[in-house]
Amino acid sequence: MEYLSLIEKGIWFGLAAIGFAILFNVPTRTILVIWFMGALGGITKLICMHIGFGVVMSSFAGAGLIGFLSIWAAHSKHSPPMIFAIPSVIPMVPGAFAYRMMLGLIKLAGDQIGEDYDTIVAETINNGLKAIFILMSLAFGVALPMLLTRKESAKDIRLKKIMG
């Protein structure tokens, strides 16, 4: 794997994360950290894919790193962890797989049903399931570190305390 290409893609991941951070109107003091986390998460995903992991596990690894880094950043920048995690993980959302699934659905809805019908159905289902599993791995990768590092357990939270 070319290191220069990896660094370039990391920069683009970080810039996309900054774009979503600005869209979500996060505090200005968090922008640089969000860029760094988006770049590291994207680079982690790319390295894992280069090693031989699938796209789903690679996305989970990148999102898990972002989840743990967002907890650290929340303590250092005095902001909630989701301020850092959500904009940083959005550039890893599988747009290409969702796009290919939609193209397959459009082809299937058309009037021309030929001998490619079975192939189109299989590719559409494959792309749709990949997109769903990648989205689930991103969600679990971000949420799992936050659940593991909670200060109080769910047993200690009382209903009266929650209700007011």
Kindly report the pTM of this predicted structure: 0.85
With beta carbons less than 8 A apart as the criterion, state whether 90 and 20 touch. yes
pLDDT for 62: 96
- pLDDT means over runs of 10, the chain (164 residues): 90 96 94 96 96 96 95 90 94 93 90 78 95 96 89 57 58
pLDDT for 117: 84
With beta carbons less than 8 A apart as the criterion, state whether 34 and 84 touch. yes
13 lies in some domain = yes
43 lies in some domain = yes
53 lies in some domain = yes
pLDDT for 156: 56
14 lies in some domain = yes
Residue 35 to residue 148: CA distance in whole angstroms: 24
142 lies in some domain = yes
Nearest to 144 by CA among 53, 80, 54, 65: 65
With beta carbons less than 8 A apart as the criterion, state whether 100 and 129 touch. no
CB atoms within 10 A of CB 160: 6
Residue 8 to residue 51: CA distance in whole angstroms: 19
pLDDT for 146: 87
pLDDT for 159: 52
In total, how many domains does the chain have?
Answer: 1
66 lies in some domain = yes
pLDDT for 7: 94
100 lies in some domain = no
38 lies in some domain = yes
Domain of residue 24 covers: 3-93+137-151
